[in-house]
Chain A
Amino acid sequence: MSNVPADLHYTKDHEWIKVAADGTAVIGITDHAQAALGDVTFVDLPKIGASFNHGDVFGTVESVKAASDLYSPISCEVVEANADLNNSPDLVNREPYGGAWMIKVKVKNPAELGALLDAAGYAATL
């Protein structure tokens, strides 16, 4: 069974998002997603300052098997992209909820958070 931490929010497209009190959030992909992709070889992330609407493609994660789009769980502006993934894309397989966070963003519309899945809701989709 894949790991679904209780303190995160999720999309049905297998992204997770962790919201901080200061209005920022960190986004990554779930344990289930990394297992389905297999060995990750490249993560293509946006530049700082890039803006996305809820559901926009913000990047691509490439594994030996396939390239998959990353969808923004919310409307946001990128304030940081995880540079560690440049040299160690395999972090996605090893630490999907930790070292392999993908982007840190400014949340534009906190009301959108209510539409995300909680851990139980996401686990039920797997």
Chain B
Amino acid sequence: MSDTLSRTPLFALHVELGGRIVPFAGWEMPVQYTGIIEEHMAVRQAAGLFDVSHMGEARVRGRDAAKFLDGIMTNEMATIKVGMARYTVMCQPDGGCVDDLIVYRLADDEFLICLNASNAPKDIAWMRAHIGTHQVEVLDECAAWAQLALQGPRAEAILALTTATPLASIKRFGFEFGEVAGVAGCLISRTGYTGSPGFELYLPAASAEKVARALLAAGKPHGLVPAGLGARDSLRLEANYPLYGHEISEKISPIQASLGWTVKFAKPDFIGREALHRQAQGGPSSSVVLFSLDDRRIARQGAVVYSGETPVGEVLSGTQSPVLGKPIGTALVAAGHAASATLTVDIRGNRIPLRLSAEPFVK
């Protein structure tokens, strides 16, 4: 790992907007501008603009591209239609997650894949190592792209002010290439990581600041605010979206993380299939649960979960839910306890009951 932190093309804009810059996944990123709760609620009620240019991108192209991806991804790749995207996990042979990804089908033989920032070099190396005899190439395009997430109920109205691309016809997980704020070659995708409606924009890196400024100006009358990684985390947790390194990791499989819907056992062999199949059949040794607390204290990552006096798990993510007004989080708990009504979590010596939730807190 390098000691020097990377900066996105929007770094100067973050500083100008008063963003508080923190190190995250090897990048200098704004954790907040005015406050996490305010930015969070802006996304739920109006709109927020996030710089997610730290995310990586890889282009996979060649005659065997779909077949190659189906061999390393848990979800079905060959059936993605051109112009559509799909969420998937890439697994190790033991079922642990290399990464979770969004795969965009650009053409029959060409895909663009969104990678988690801290995993990008590992992912690209993993993909290249598994090319085998496939007619395919894996191109590292991390530096070529910037990414913005425009999220919230007003996102579509705001984006429409900056592009002539028809947005209403872009379905959820659909995308179009178009011009945004005069910048050509932008990938406009109806996806997001907040649980609110919105878009993610893949932009030529050199033009990202122009697009961001145009969106902020156009969106201001609609209540658009710049939003940082703090709000991104609390938003995704309310929506129960996993974050790599927390709910999924090299140690936590998609079956454990309740992402079984992304694992297609019916397709031909893929890396991790046997291990994941065993977990799906026999039940995993531990699984991830979503919870809220009727308390004021937040259960943070690493807090121990108890059944009676027996430790049965630990907290993976925890924050304050601005929408619920109480703490929420996820925990990895041992088999047999994932539906228990009597779990507690230790917060600085206090045992607080976990209120498990089968549904995300926002949908």
Nearest-neighbour CB distance to chain A for B40, whole angstroms, equals 9
Contact with A along B299-338 (1 / 0, CB 8 A): 0100000000000000000011000000000000000000
Chain A interface residue bracket vs B? 10 to 19
Contact of B298 with A67 in the complex, beta carbons under 8 Å: yes
Contact of A64 with B348 in the complex, beta carbons under 8 Å: no
* Residues in B whose Cβ lies below 8 Å from that of A66: 300
Contact of A42 with B230 in the complex, beta carbons under 8 Å: no
Shortest Cβ distance from A42 into B: residue: B296
A44 at the interface (CB under 8 A from B): yes
Nearest-neighbour CB distance to chain A for B88, whole angstroms, equals 31
Contact of B297 with A62 in the complex, beta carbons under 8 Å: yes
**CB within 8 Å of B: which of A71-116?**
89, 93
Contact with A along B7-40 (1 / 0, CB 8 A): 0000000000000000000000001100111100
Q: Beyond A64-B230, A65-B31, is A38–B36 a contact (Cβ under 8 Å)?
A: yes
Contact of B31 with A44 in the complex, beta carbons under 8 Å: no
B191 at the interface (CB under 8 A from A): no
A64's contact among B37, B296, B297, by CB below 8 Å, is which? Answer: B37
A67's contact among B31, B32, B234, B297, by CB below 8 Å, is which? Answer: B297
Contact with A along B278-306 (1 / 0, CB 8 A): 00000000000000000011101000000
Rounded to whole angstroms, the CA-CA distance of A41 and B318 in the bound complex is: 13
Shortest Cβ distance from B295 into A: residue: A42
Contact of A38 with B348 in the complex, beta carbons under 8 Å: no
Q: Beyond A64-B230, A64-B234, A65-B230, is A41–B32 a contact (Cβ under 8 Å)?
A: no
A39's contact among B35, B296, B297, B348, by CB below 8 Å, is which? Answer: B35
Chain B interfacial residues counted at CB < 8 A? 15
* Residues in B whose Cβ lies below 8 Å from that of A60: 348
Rounded to whole angstroms, the CA-CA distance of A89 and B326 in the bound complex is: 13
* Residues in A whose Cβ lies below 8 Å from that of B320: 39, 41, 64
Contact of A67 with B300 in the complex, beta carbons under 8 Å: yes
* Residues in A whose Cβ lies below 8 Å from that of B32: 38
Say what secondary structure dominates the interface of chain B.
mixed
Contact of B36 with A65 in the complex, beta carbons under 8 Å: yes
Contact of B296 with A41 in the complex, beta carbons under 8 Å: yes
Shortest Cβ distance from A41 into B: residue: B320
Rounded to whole angstroms, the CA-CA distance of A73 and B166 in the bound complex is: 62
**CB within 8 Å of A: which of B78-97?**
none
Nearest-neighbour CB distance to chain B for A38, whole angstroms, equals 6
Contact of A41 with B298 in the complex, beta carbons under 8 Å: yes
Contact with B along A32-45 (1 / 0, CB 8 A): 00000011011010
Contact with A along B246-277 (1 / 0, CB 8 A): 00000000000000000000000000000000
* Residues in B whose Cβ lies below 8 Å from that of A41: 296, 298, 320
Shortest Cβ distance from B350 into A: residue: A44
Contact of B348 with A67 in the complex, beta carbons under 8 Å: yes
Q: Beyond A64-B37, A64-B320, is A38–B298 a contact (Cβ under 8 Å)?
A: no
Contact of B230 with A62 in the complex, beta carbons under 8 Å: no
A38's contact among B35, B297, B300, by CB below 8 Å, is which? Answer: B35
Additional pairs, 10, CB under 8 Å, beyond known A38-B32, A39-B37, A93-B35: A38-B35, A38-B230, A41-B320, A42-B298, A44-B296, A44-B297, A62-B296, A64-B36, A64-B37, A65-B31
CB-based closest 6 A-B pairs: A42-B296, A64-B36, A41-B320, A39-B37, A39-B35, A64-B320
Q: Which chain A residues have a beta carbon within 8 Å of chain B's beta carbons?
A: 38-39, 41-42, 44, 60, 62, 64-67, 89, 93
Enumerate 15 A-B pairs (CB-CB under 8 Å) in ascending A order.
A38-B31, A38-B32, A38-B35, A38-B36, A39-B37, A39-B38, A42-B296, A44-B297, A64-B234, A64-B298, A64-B319, A64-B320, A65-B31, A65-B36, A66-B300
